[in-house]
Amino acid sequence: MKRLLWPVLIVIVLGLAVFGLLTSPAFLDETSFLEQTGNADRGKTVFDASGCASCHAAENADEESHLILTGGKRFDSPFGTFIAPNLSSDVEMGIGGWTDYEIANAVINGVGPQKQHYFPAFPYATYNKMTLADLADLVSYLRELPASDVKNQPHEVSFPFNIRRNLGGWKFLFASDDWVMQGDLSDELIRGRYLVEALGHCGECHTPRNALGGMKRGKWLGGAAHPSGKGRIPNITPAALEWAKGDIVEYLTSGFTPEFDTAGGEMVEVVENMARLSQSDREAIAAYLLALPSVE
């Protein structure tokens, strides 16, 4: 009996060690991050392109109030409902009391000040491709936004998905920092790829997911079920989106399609954010979409 028990114990201990390694949080290199000097003006572009306000502003926020990041928006998913936290500069209720390094780690590693993993409803597994310079600029900009004392609400997620430690395993499996579009790209495509694959997190909505919520990168931007279970988010690869470059740029500027329809659903806020970017950035996004492999 004893002879049998030892190998079993060893397997359990090794298993726990591997689980511990795989699920322990990763951190940004502090020295390289602190070498950056953030610029809030440039940070505004990073903030708009990344759509932070689309999730962290209050429900139905308008042009004026979208910079008050009170939190409270609800995101239904197959795993439960996530509720966006207060991201304002309030010291008590927001992130005003956090260090720059803590904010940076949350955005690109999905790890909080208590070393807890964040749920991937916060798209850090996409922001992980953000440059350190952009990250520092973004943090400087967040510091300048108004405070709001709205209290955070707990997520409505049940066992086993509410165990934050397990998210380390999710990150290990799905948080890739490789680019999807590879090869020798023009400067415009490199910028477009950065805006789509990193900041704009277009794939978080437009790419289908597996049962564990990981993006199916082989079907990149090929259209997906809406996470709430209602409706679909369109395929935006050339197989389905038969628009010219100018049509895509127009859509990202005004929301008008070539058929004189207007953008609906979550895309309304994405378009508002894209409209705040430069014309050349919208052109870069359009060029990237046109260069995508078709997903049928």
The piece of 24-32, 168-176, 261-269, 275-283 that touches ligand HEC (CB under 6 A) is: 261-269
As given in the structure block, the two tokens for residue 76 are 């239904």
Pairwise CA distance, residues 124 & 114, whole Å? 17
Q: Of 32-40, 57-65, 102-110, 180-188, which part binds ligand HEC (CB under 6 A)?
A: 102-110
By CB under 6 A, residue 285 contacts ligand HEC: yes
| Interaction of residue 121 with ligand HEC, rule CB under 6 A | yes
d(CA 296, CA 79): 28
Among 241, 277, 287, 295, binds ligand HEC (CB under 6 A): 241
Cα-flanking dihedrals φ and ψ of residue 161, to 5°?
Answer: -70, -15
Q: How far is the CB of 4 from ligand HEC (least distance, A)?
A: 42
The sign of the CA dihedral 15, 19, 21, 22 is positive
Within its chain, how far is the Cα of 234 from the centroid?
A: 18
> At closest approach, how far in Å is the CB of 37 from ligand HEC?
18
Nearest to 220 by CA among 232, 211, 209, 231: 209
Task: Verify binding: residue 108, ligand HEC, rule CB under 6 A.
Answer: no
Q: How far apart are CA 135 and CA 46, in angstroms?
A: 8
Closest CA to 139 of 52, 40, 71: 40
Residue 249 binding ligand HEC, by CB under 6 A: no
Binder among 204, 215, 223, 281 for ligand HEC (CB under 6 A): 204
Applying CB under 6 A, which of residues 215, 267, 284, 292 lies at the interface with ligand HEC? 267
| Sole binder of ligand HEC in the list 28, 52, 104, 136 (CB under 6 A) | 52
Q: How far apart are the first and last CA of the chain?
A: 57
| Backbone torsions φ then ψ of 110, nearest 5 degrees | 65, 35
- Contact window for ligand HEC (CB under 6 A) among 6-14, 30-38, 120-128, 176-184: 120-128
Torsion of CA 35, 41, 46, 52, to 10 degrees: 110
Query: Which 153-192 residues touch ligand HEC, going by CB under 6 A?
Result: none
Among 125, 270, 277, 295, binds ligand HEC (CB under 6 A): 270
The answer to the question of residue 79 lying near ligand HEC (CB under 6 A) is: no
For ligand HEC, how many residues bind (rule: CB under 6 A)? Answer: 44
* Residue count of the chain: 296
Work out which of 84, 175, 249, 295 binds ligand HEC, going by CB under 6 A.
84
Q: How open is the CA angle 49-221-168, to the nearest 5 degrees?
A: 75
Asked whether the beta carbons of 36 and 133 are under 8 A apart, the reply is yes
Q: Which is nearer to ligand HEC, 87 or 175 (CB)?
A: 87
User: Which stretches of the chain bind ligand HEC, using CB under 6 A?
Assistant: 50-52, 54-56, 75, 82, 84-85, 87, 95, 103, 106-107, 112, 118-119, 121-123, 127, 138, 196, 200-202, 204-206, 233-234, 236, 241, 248, 251, 257, 263-267, 270, 285
